[in-house]
Amino acid sequence: MRIVGGGGGILLGVLAPGVVWAGQPLPWQIGLQPAASPVMEDVVALHGYVLIVIIGVACLVMGLLGFVIWRFNARRNPTPATWCHHTLLEIVWTVVPVLILTAIAVPSFRLLYRQDHIPPADLTLKVEGHQWYWSYAYPDLGISFDANMVETDQLQAGEPRLLTADAPVVVPVGQVVRVQLTADDVLHSWAVPALGVRTDTVPGRLNESWFQVKEPGLYYGFCAELCGVRHAYMPIVVRAVPEEAFKAWVQERKVAQNPSPQHGNPPLFEISALDPESDPSLMEDCHRVKGEKPFGPPEANDGCVYFPPPYVLPPAEAPRMMPGG
C-alpha cells in the first residue's frame, strides 16, 4: 500500500527550508500544543480560561478541607456543634456554581458554533480510515494516495517515531481546507492536535471538519479511536507550505500518479454495481463503457460522481437485508 515512487520522501527534502513550525508534543510538555489554526486558537483560549476556574475551585476545596481538619479536630474542638442547616449557605453554593457554569457555557457555545461553521473552502481533502493506514484524496486536483507509518528502522534523522507517515498531507498555508472523512472497515478518528481537528471516521457516514493552517510547518497527528492491532501506528503528517510550493507539489504528485493508475487502493466497490445502460450519463462522463476499457477500480476523483458513493461497502460483501429493512 506504499505510495508510488516514494514521492513523499523526495518532497519532504525539497520543501524542508519552508518549515518553521513543528506541531508535535515535546518532552515534559504539560499543556496543549500551540495553536496553528483559528479553531485551535479558540480551543487554547477557552481551555486556558476554564483551567483558571477549575484550579480556583480545586484550591478552594483543598483549602477548606485543610482548614476544617486543622481547626475542628477533636483536640482543638472537643465538643461538636449541633447545627446542620443553613439555608442561605445552601442557596449560595447552588447559585454561585450556576453563575460560574454560565460564564463557562457562553464562550463554550460560541466555540462550538465557530467550529461548526465552515468558511467557504479553498480546498477539499478526503480522508478515509483503513486498518491501518489513511487514504487521502484531493478530489478537485485529481490526487490520491495512501499514507502508512514509517517503521522505526527506516526513519530519517529528525523524524519523530510513531508520528512519521510515508506521505504527508500537503496543504497551502492560509487557505481553508474542508476535510471530509469516512472509513471503510472500522471506526478511526483523524486527529491533528495543533490544528484543532479530531473527527471520527465512521463507515457509512461522511463527516466534515475544517482547518486553516496559519504558518508553514509540519503538524503531526494520529488515529484517536481504537481500531485494532495497529491502532497506535496510524500517524498523520500535515505539511503546510506556501501556495507556490503547493502548486509544485500538485504537479509532481500528478506526474508520479499518472504512469500507473493502480495507486494501491483496493477497489472500494465493483464497477459492475453501476449500470451504464440505465444511466447514459455515467457512460458518457466516465469513459468506462464496457468493452472499451477493462473493468477495474475507478480512477479516484476523476471528477465523476459515483453512486453508490465509495463509503458504501461493495455489494458483494453486503449482508442479506433484513425483512422490511
Partner 1 sequence: MSAHAAEQDHRPAGWRRWLLSTNHKDIGTLYLVLSVTAGVVGAAISFLIRAELQQPGMQFLENQEQFYNVLVTAHGVIMVFFVVMPALIGGFGNWFVPLMIGAPDMAFPRLNNISFWLLAAALVLLVASANIDQGPGTGWTVYPPLSTSGHPGAGVDFAILALHLAGASSVLGAINFITTILNMRAPNLTMMRLPLFVWSMLLTSLLLVLAIPILAGALTMLLTDRNFGTTFFNPAGGGDPVFYQHLFWFFGHPEVYIMILPAFGIVSHVVATFSRKPIFGHKGMIYAMMAIAVIGFMVWAHHMFTVGMNVTGRVYFTAATLVIAVPTGVKIFSWIATLWGGSIQLRVPLLWALGFIFLFTVGGVTGVVLANGGLSVALHDSYYVVAHFHYVLSLGAVFAMFAGFYYWIGKMTGRPYPEGLGRLHFWLTFIGVNLTFFPMHFMGLAGMQRRVPDYPDAFAGWNQVASTGAWISVASVLVFLVVLWRIFSARERVAANPWGEGATTLEWTVPSPAPFHTFTHQPVIEASPAPHWLNDGA
Which residues inside 145-184 make contact with partner 1, applying CB under 8 A?
Answer: 160-163
Minimal distance, residue 141 CB to partner 1, in Å: 25
String of contacts with partner 1 for each residue 223-242, x by CB under 8 A? xxxxxxxxxx----------
CA–CA separation, 316 vs 318, rounded Å? 6
6, 20, 52, 93: which one binds partner 1 (CB under 8 A):
93
What are the DSSP E strand ranges found in 202-312? 207-212, 217-223, 236-241
Residue span 100-139 as binding mask against partner 1, x where in contact by CB under 8 A, dash where not: -x--xx--xx-xxxxxx--------------x--------
Residue nearer to partner 1 on the CB measure, 36 or 256: 36
Residue matched to cell numbers 508520479 = 256
User: Rounded to 5 degrees, what are φ and ψ at 244?
Assistant: -60, -45
Whose Cβ is closer to partner 1: residue 89's or residue 305's?
89
Q: How far apart are CA 245 and CA 241, in angstroms?
A: 6
Binding partner 1 by CB under 8 A: which of 189, 212, 257, 265? Answer: 189
Quick check: 10 binds partner 1 (CB under 8 A)? Answer: no
Contact call for residue 185 and partner 1 (CB under 8 A): yes
Q: How far apart are CA 35 and CA 17, in angstroms?
A: 21
Q: Which residues of 23-37 are buried (b: 16+ CB within 10 A; e: fewer)?
A: bbeeeeeeeebebbb
CB of residue 173 to partner 1, shortest distance in Å: 20
User: Per CB under 8 A, does 267 bind partner 1?
Assistant: no
Q: What dihedral do alpha carbons 199, 136, 303, 213 form, nearest 10°?
A: 70
Phi, psi of 138 (to 5 degrees): -110, 90
CB of 266 to partner 1, least distance (A): 15
Q: Which is nearer to partner 1, 40 or 245 (CB)?
A: 40
Q: Is position 42 an interface residue for partner 1 (rule: CB under 8 A)?
A: yes
Q: Name which of 159, 154, 209, 153 is nearest 180 in CA terms.
A: 209
Q: Which is nearer to partner 1, 227 or 286 (CB)?
A: 227
The closest of 119, 115, 156, 151 to 133, measured between CA atoms, is 151
| By the rule CB under 8 A, 52 interacts with partner 1 | no
Question: Rounded distance, CA 167 to CA 6, Å?
Answer: 8
Nearer Cβ to partner 1 (107/174): 107
